[in-house]
Amino acid sequence: MPKLITLPVPGQIRRHVLKNLTPNTKGEQDLLDASRDGAAELEAKGMNSLNTIDLHLTNDAVGSAIDIARAWLASDNGNNVMAAKSMLKFELEYEPDDPREIRHEVKMPKSLAVHFKPTYGQKPWVEGKSEVIQTDMGRMGWSTSGGRGRVRAETLGALLETITPWADSHPQPAAARAARKFAATHTEPYEKTMRLINGYLGAGDNEGQAPESGPRKPELPEGASIRLTSDRPEKVFIPKEELEVLRGFGFSEAQIALLGAVDDDGAHDLIEDPKGFYISDGWGRGKPVDRTRALDLWARGWLMYSPRDGRRYFRLTPSGTAHLKQWRAAHDQGLIDYAGKDGLNSAKEQREAYPRLVVEDVVQAAPEDQTPDFMEAIHGRDEVEVEAEPKRLVVVACGGKKSQHAGKIRADERYTGNYFTACLMAAEVMDGATMVLSAKYGLIPLSEEIENYDVRPGDKGSIRLATVKRQVEELGLTGAHVTVLGGERYVNAARLIWADVEAPLKGGIGQQLKQLAGIYGGEALAPDEEGPERVYQTTLKEVGYLPTRNRPTPRVMWFGGKAGRFNPKPGQWVKAEVIYIGEGKYAIYRFGTSDQLMTGTLRNLIHWGPLNEQKPELVQSPDEPRDAEAAPAPVEPAAKPVVGSRFYEVPENWVELAEEGDTEAARRYWTRRCEEWRLTRK
């Protein structure tokens, strides 16, 4: 007797099987027989045929039901889509005869998902891939926090082939860590499935041939592993394409020497005055620099300048710093050689644009017959001017999204959100030192190593304002000229510490990201969706806009888990959709996926929050008629009113009864009946 699997098959699928399915396979016949048995059992109990019931299915029958559910995902019928998602929760229960159809549950964080999620204006990762890969990736659920879904071995192999090299080569630490975890989690299941596939193909399509000795390994891209610095043992993988890009720069030895002189680790400056460009060691005018060479590196984005003290000071851009480190490491290991002469990759008109851009900057030459004193050599001003001028400080607000790396890591690596990253990029091009204002640790430098935490300003465990003031005094920053890059809460806190604070960011998160992009001169980053701005702890019925049997449109919201005495605080916030599953019950799924978070009735207490707070949350649906009946006379407010002036707590079964007769006449009746209950409790 075959092994039976007991599953709650949705009524929508059972009805389709009974009415429309003509069995062509053993699995379809088994599914039809099980559906008939379920219908007979419901009829004997006097229950509706769409009620939930467990069916005892063979493995083949489960496969047939899952095939129906997969086809229904693209249906225009909302009930079919809901039934399909409910059925696909059991997709991993099915053991297909062909191991190529085995599904693997994959989950990737945002740092990896951004490379695979379909994005407008970018070349899709699946372009040119097989139909299997395109289908699997199309069914993945994508959100602002990452991606999730079930894929076949072919798709998993392609993902491993792409992601595995990133563990050693990705420039973002968060993505490199996620790549290592992804490879460690999925390599062994992939190899196990590939062994089954090799055996299956060897016994079937390739009969007479010995199966492969092992699974197909992902083919790693060509490239080289290089050590960026001699004092660090770990190596970084540079793909072949990136090596070609580094070679394409065509740098001469003189160009590399110039870039090295203005490196952040160097002790020299590239300065321009009316007499031209020169390298200075801080004590006066030094070796002159070819103007065309300097402007070419500026036009190509390797150098940026800032006017100061009547001169223009040049330094490497952040991307130039990273590329120079890679170029030097590749050259030291013999992978790249110097060009015979300067590779002038920028057009002449680009270099000639420089005078027009800086025409308003008035520069002054350093006198040849006078050597500046020590303070003037270091700061460009004498000692009196230096002491009189206040220190400049850029304060960046800490981020809600943090790296989950265990132990202590640098502050600029702990915060991983796009908003914090944009603030940090803007701070890099502003004058003054940059520090982080942390709700846990107070005012700290970017290099300070901190542990992970989950504290917001004002929460229990957050740092006290008096402690931050003492930090400012100890650092000698009481009279500093401060610019705050952060939200209103951090700006207000800073103004309690410093009398004169600049706060250039205005408006919502989206507007602030655009303003930050204008400061650092790049593309605006996407907002971080960390959770709702306003949260509620109510019963499910108070959420509003919930679907019903006649209106199956899901309600999308932030979901923080069940509430109540044992769950006083919300858990991790996820974007979710509420679906009506019949008999007064609702299911909450992770948005865009078949991952069910909870089921319950309207009485269940939950933590939730709206996606958009621009409009007040109302319980009444927008398509509900509002002219059904004149409003009742003014009365005393209800003892326990719910959101909205026309809604009150009523007996629990009323909601289910009202849903059964959702007509205009029924709504008039229930309006009168609810008002009577509110006044008389009868």
Q: Is the pLDDT of residue 367 over 50?
A: no
Average pLDDT over residues 52-75: 86
For residue 645, name the pLDDT band (cuts at 50, 70, 90). Answer: very low
Q: What sign for the dihedral angle of Cα 255, 261, 265, 269?
A: negative
For residue 362, name the pLDDT band (cuts at 50, 70, 90). Answer: very low
Q: Is the pLDDT of residue 223 over 60?
A: no
Q: Is the pLDDT of residue 530 over 70?
A: no
- Specify the amino acid at residue 492: N
Average pLDDT over residues 30-41: 88
pLDDT at 649: 65
Average pLDDT over residues 474-480: 87
The mean of the pLDDT values for the chain is 76
Whether residue 539 contacts residue 607, with contact meaning beta carbons closer than 8 Å, is answered with no
pLDDT at 394: 92
Map out the domains of the chain as residue ranges: 4-93, 99-203, 236-369, 390-520, 536-609, 618-682
Which is higher by pLDDT, 511 or 628? 511
Distance CA 259, CA 190 (A): 46
pLDDT at 290: 87
* CB contact set of 286 (below 8 Å; sequence gap of 6+): 268, 278, 279, 280
pTM over 0.75: no
Distance CA 261, CA 211 (A): 59
Backbone angles phi, psi at 144, to 5 degrees: -70, -15
From the CB of residue 634, how many other CB atoms can be counted at a distance below 10 Å? 6
pLDDT at 539: 92
Q: Is the pLDDT of residue 624 over 60?
A: no
Distance CA 48, CA 34 (A): 17
The token duo for 284 is 């006066």
**Lowest-confidence pick of 20-24, 202-206, 280-284, 640-644:** 640-644
- The class (CATH top level) of 390-520 is alpha beta
Distance CA 155, CA 103 (A): 10
For residue 239, name the pLDDT band (cuts at 50, 70, 90). Answer: low
Highest mean pLDDT among 192-201, 354-363, 590-599: 192-201
**Lowest-confidence pick of 444-448, 460-464, 474-478:** 460-464
Domain 236-369, CATH 1.10.3470 — does that match? no
pLDDT at 569: 82
pLDDT at 119: 58
Q: Is the pLDDT of residue 412 over 50?
A: yes
**Lowest-confidence pick of 268-272, 365-369, 440-444, 448-452:** 365-369
For residue 208, name the pLDDT band (cuts at 50, 70, 90). Answer: very low
**Lowest-confidence pick of 20-34, 46-60, 222-236:** 222-236
Q: Is the pLDDT of residue 281 over 70?
A: no
Task: Please work out, in degrees rounded to the nearest 5, the angle formed at the alpha carbon of residue 589 by the alpha carbons of 585 and 590.
Answer: 160
The token duo for 244 is 């070609």
| CA distances, 620 to each of 78, 441, 616 (Å) | 21, 45, 11
The token duo for 468 is 């931050």
Highest mean pLDDT among 131-135, 337-341, 359-363, 516-520: 131-135
SS3 assignment, position 7:
strand
DSSP string, 21-47: ----SHHHHHHHHHHHHHHHHHHHTT-
Which tens digits make up the pLDDT trace of 85-114? 888 888 888 888 888 889 999 998 888 888
Whether residue 611 contacts residue 533, with contact meaning beta carbons closer than 8 Å, is answered with no
> Quick one: which of 116, 122, 114 has its CA closest to 136?
116
In eight-state DSSP terms, residue 614 is: S
pLDDT at 437: 93
DSSP string, 581-610: EETTEEEEEETTSS-EEEEE-TT-EEEEE-
* CB contact set of 625 (below 8 Å; sequence gap of 6+): 664, 667
Average pLDDT over residues 648-662: 65
Cα Rg, the chain, nearest whole Å: 33
pLDDT at 205: 46
Q: Is the pLDDT of residue 77 over 50?
A: yes
Whether residue 375 contacts residue 381, with contact meaning beta carbons closer than 8 Å, is answered with yes
Which residues make beta-bridge pairs with 109?
A: 146
Q: Is the pLDDT of residue 493 over 80?
A: yes
Average pLDDT over residues 190-210: 69
DSSP string, 365-394: PPPTT----HHHHHHSS-HHHHHHSPPEEE
* CB contact set of 105 (below 8 Å; sequence gap of 6+): 92, 148, 149, 150
**pLDDT over 90 for what percent of the chain?**
8
Average pLDDT over residues 393-413: 88
Placement of tokens 């990759």 in the chain: 345
User: Where would I find the H helices in 333-449?
Assistant: 348-357, 374-379, 383-388, 411-414, 418-428
Q: Is the pLDDT of residue 178 over 80?
A: yes
For residue 356, name the pLDDT band (cuts at 50, 70, 90). Answer: very low
Average pLDDT over residues 161-170: 85
Q: Is the pLDDT of residue 506 over 70?
A: yes
Which tens digits make up the pLDDT trace of 414-427? 998 888 888 988 88
- For strands 311-316 and 269-273, give the pairing: antiparallel
Average pLDDT over residues 243-263: 80
In terms of residues, how long is the chain? 682
Placement of tokens 């090299």 in the chain: 165
Average pLDDT over residues 545-573: 84
Element (H, E) at 435: strand 433-438
Element (H, E) at 78: helix 78-87
Which is higher by pLDDT, 443 or 225? 443
The token duo for 567 is 């769950």
